[in-house]
């Protein structure tokens, strides 16, 4: 079983430069979130193990492009 998510290259947070975290949600999606400011990407869902890694890659790619949702209220 190849679950090689560790090979994904995740850049620092595009908003604050904080540490990113690739999160998996209960066997159905991935997203990347910032451990410092709490911004995050959209969810990237998958339906089977084959799509799983692709979803993780999409989440990381989106994050690396800076397409994140800020959750800071009015700051
Ligand atoms: Zn951040």
Q: What is the pLDDT of residues 1-34, one digit of tens each?
A: 446 788 899 999 999 999 999 999 988 999 999 9
Global pTM reads 0.87
Identify residues whose C-beta is under 5 A from ligand 1, the ion. Answer: 13, 15-16, 18, 34, 36-37
What φ, ψ does residue 62 adopt, rounded to 5°? -60, -45
Domain spans of the chain, in order of start: 20-64
- What is the distance, to the nearest Å, from the Cα of residue 31 to the centroid of all Cα atoms in its chain? 3
If you measure from the C-alpha of residue 58 to the centroid of ligand 1, how many angstroms do you get, rounded to a whole number?
19
* pLDDT higher than threshold 50 for residue 62: yes
């Amino acid at each position: 079983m190849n679950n090689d998510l560790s090979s994904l290259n995740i850049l620092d947070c595009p908003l604050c430069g904080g540490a990113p975290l690739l999160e998996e949600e209960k066997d159905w999606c991935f997203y990347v979130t910032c451990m410092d400011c709490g911004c995050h990407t959209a969810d990237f869902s998958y339906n089977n193990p084959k799509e799983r890694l692709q979803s993780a890659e999409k989440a990381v790619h989106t994050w690396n492009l800076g397409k994140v949702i800020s959750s800071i209220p009015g700051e």
